[in-house]
Amino acid sequence: MVPPAALASHLHGQLNRRRRPFSTALALTTRRRDSVTLTQMHIFIDESGTFARSAKAASPSVVAALVIPEGSWAKLAKKYAEHRRALPKNNAGEVKGGLLNEKQVATVAHTLSHSCSLAFAVVIDPAWYDEDVFRQHRQDFVETLTRDLKDDYPDHLKEAVKRDCAEVLAMPEQLYTQARVTWELARRLIECSIPYFAQRQPNALAAFDWAIDAKDLKVTNAEQWWRRLTSPLLEAISVEQPMALPVGLDYRFFQRFLMATPERLEPHFPTHVASRRGIDLQLIFHEKFRFSHDVEPGLEMADILANATRRALVGNLRAEGWNSFAEMMLPKWGFQLLSLAPNQAATHLPLEPAARRFLAGGRNMITRHTRDS
């Protein structure tokens, strides 16, 4: 995984040399603010694959997301509805990516690529590491949850953390792996989407509307776990690898999410991080967040993206079908091959041709106006 701080350096190299990025650690607070939502950013997340070990040479699983600003949503939804009439559907009347042929995938991808939207995908294959690596990764995560737990904390809080840890350690490998991939996707998505839309549709940063495809009519234990632990986990990771926002962009509509980082995090900041500005993750992730089992156009398109990415990586879909999805990704940041093994380059020969194309992306982070100003 490329350290997130590298994104600031990458952006800084494209901006005027007089500008200096500031690093801001993603931080968690329970604070709430009254505000008027002017517009919002729609985020649709779905997955493809089992996230389980397989005897196959390559068995990748994918979590993918579409980020669509409100200003582009109505036109895009109308266009997709026109195409949807001719797309195959399952018994529930839902369009699923696995039912689409190459031409149908290409039609949806082409439509999406012509909107002001971003695509993200994170890929993992448990064959890239052994079970001992998985168990150690899970144990390290549990230790992260208890790192800041003090003896004088209320008993109910300590019991809640212990309960969460027990659930983590009891989770099957495939559920833990899927959650870990989804967390990485969410982190990468937030880090890249904020500066991207600050230059194009800044009012989309006024709110974040999350929709994740629900596997059952009831919210599963894994989904409840996701709700409780997303913010604490991303906070813990980001203290060590702070997010960075370049200066000089339009963050007016994002101001309500900025905050001073809690004092309890001070001992954990790396020495090179001077800024103590943070982002209210509770507000970003929970103000508008749902696991949805409804038939929604955004989730259908996210499913098509996830499935097409997986089919591309295993060679079951030609580039003509998925290339427009690659065009929607930011170079290096829109696509990631993830391994739970520390410092392991997650490469696998059968995946290389398509993976290289996804990594190359097609969206430019910095606009010409920003570069020239």
Confidence of residue 172 (pLDDT cuts 50, 70, 90): confident
pLDDT at position 19, please? Answer: 34
Write out the chain in H/E/C secondary structure: CCCCHHHHHHHHHHCCCCCCCEEEEEECCCCCCCCCCCCCEEEEEEEECCCCCCCCCCCCEEEEEEEEEHHHHHHHHHHHHHHHCCCCECCCCCECHHHCCHHHHHHHHHHHHCCCCEEEEEEECHHHCCHHHHHHHHHHHHHHHHCCCCCCCCHHHHHHHHHHHHHHHHCCHHHHHHHHHHHHHHHHHHHHHHHHHHCCCHHHHHCEEEEEECCCCCCCHHHHHHHHHHHHHHHHHHHHCCEEECCCCCCHHHHHHEEECCHHHHHHCCCCCCCCEEEEHHHHHHCCEEEECCCCHHHHHHHHHHHHHHHHHCCCCCHHHHHHHHHCCCCCCCEEEECCCCCCCCCCHHHHHHHHHHHHCCCCCCCHHHHHC
What average pLDDT does range 254-264 have in this prediction?
78
Distance CA 70, CA 41 (A): 6
Task: State the chain's mean pLDDT as an integer.
Answer: 82
Confidence of residue 72 (pLDDT cuts 50, 70, 90): very high
More confident residue, 228 or 64: 64
Distance CA 13, CA 9 (A): 6
Strands of the sheet with 22-27, listed across from one edge: 243-245, 22-27, 277-280, 258-260
Confidence of residue 277 (pLDDT cuts 50, 70, 90): low
Q: Output the pTM of the full model.
A: 0.85
Judged against a pLDDT cut of 80, whether residue 314 lies above it is answered with: yes
**pLDDT tens track for 10-55:** 444 444 333 333 334 433 333 444 444 458 999 999 999 999 988 7
Judged against a pLDDT cut of 60, whether residue 203 lies above it is answered with: yes
**pLDDT tens track for 339-362:** 898 776 555 545 778 999 999 999
138 close to 176: Cβ distance less than 8 angstroms: yes
**pLDDT tens track for 91-133:** 999 999 999 999 999 999 999 999 999 999 999 998 888 899 9
pLDDT at position 33, please? Answer: 41
pLDDT at position 20, please? Answer: 32
Confidence of residue 261 (pLDDT cuts 50, 70, 90): low
Domains in the chain, ordered, with CATH? 5-16+37-130+171-368 (3.30.420.10)
pLDDT at position 267, please? Answer: 59
Judged against a pLDDT cut of 50, whether residue 264 lies above it is answered with: yes
pLDDT at position 168, please? Answer: 85
